[in-house]
Amino acid sequence: MTADFIVREWNAWAPGVSCHEDWRNWHDHQAFAQAEKAAIPITVPKILQRRLSPLARAVFNAAEGCIDSDKSLPIVFSSAHGEVNKSLEMLKSMQKGEEVSPTAFSLSVHNAISGLFSIAYGYHQEITVVAPGQDGIAPAFIEALGLLQEHRSEVLIVLYDEPLADFYPSLPFALNAPAICALALKVSLTGSGLPLRFCRTPAHRDDGEQALQILSFIKFLVADDKALVLGNHRHSWEWHKK
Amino acid sequence: MENELKQLIIDTLDLEDISVADIDSQAPLFNDGLGLDSIDALELGLAIRKKYNVKIDAEKEDVVKIFSSVSTLAEYIQAARG
């Protein structure tokens, strides 16, 4: 499989790193300003603001910069872990014999953030939420490219993940994000922007899960590198700047 | 009772910017009034069960009426506790 597409716009948020300039100056192993929370966009109705987790706020910040005013883009969200830390909290409270909060449950499901997004922005387009498991960011691109092939002119991809609670033994798997991070990419088949070629590669790679791959992809966007190969033991994929 | 219930609503539903004085006992809690939604109703039902040991059964009761305002909710709880 080989597919050409164009990154029309992108926007990413991590604690202390939020504009293109910040990302150009950001380098590997640089500590994130962990305590910093993404601001709540003013578009979000007051009554919904209380439901926004730090991860949701990061997603909203990244995505808001890429949605058009007529809200016509389908969106493909992708997260390996979603709000699993919320599920853990619920399990802990059940263990203590407490009843589960309906609000906590509703905000813990994998499509919780996309649901909040849709309500907050009055967004009625097709929304997909991918749980890519160990396969990293590639499944979200495959989904988005499929939508473009079905004649949608542009698609928004939103990749996000946050660090897992210490409870989960992450080693020896490379699956834990160093910080909350969200990346929104508006992609299309035509128009101006960054043209990329996406294809399978037989390379055997060990680049970790999506939480780590998001940062590699952002670095690729701002760097001069011509190609990026990402894989996590199973399939590997290459993004090539044309 | 009504003020106690207002405080319970604020604490349970994380209504940080709202105070007891801001909630009108007669005003609708859902949609137009405070703007609460169905998840809030479930959360509030749970909090009321914990605090007052009163269970509001959606199958048997007219929940729309019970949850329509602080005043109707307080009446229901008082009647249920006997």
Please identify every stretch of chain A with a pLDDT value under 50, giving residue numbers as ranges. Answer: none
> Taking a C-beta distance cutoff of 8 angstroms, is the pair B10, B43 a contact?
no
Q: How far is A105 from chain B (nearest CA, A)?
A: 10
| CB pairs < 8 Å spanning A and B | 25
**What ipTM score was computed for the predicted complex, to two decimals?**
0.85
Arithmetic mean of pLDDT, B48-76: 88
Q: Which residues contact A107 (CB under 8 A, 6 or more apart)?
A: A51, A53, A83, A86, A116
The DSSP string of A51-88 is: T--HHHHHHHHHHHTT--TT----EEEE-SSTTHHHHH
Q: Which pLDDT does position A228 carry in this prediction? A: 97
B45, pLDDT greater than 80: yes
Q: Which pLDDT does position A159 carry in this prediction? A: 98
Q: Which pLDDT does position A193 carry in this prediction? A: 96
Question: Residue A119's closest chain B neighbor by CA?
Answer: B37
Calculate the CA dihedral of residues A196, A233, A201, A227 and round it to 10 degrees. Answer: 40
Beta-bridged to residue A55, according to DSSP, are none
Closest CA to A141 of A160, A125, A157, A161: A157
Confidence of residue B62 (pLDDT cuts 50, 70, 90): confident
Which pLDDT tens digit goes with each residue over A211-220? 999 999 999 9
Topology of the domain covering A2-241: Peroxisomal Thiolase; Chain A, domain 1 (3.40.47)
B32, pLDDT greater than 80: no
Q: Which residues of B touch A50 (CB under 8 A)?
A: 13-16
Which pLDDT tens digit goes with each residue over A2-32? 999 999 999 999 999 989 999 999 887 678 8
Arithmetic mean of pLDDT, B42-52: 92
Do residue A50 and residue B13 have CB atoms under 8 angstroms apart? yes
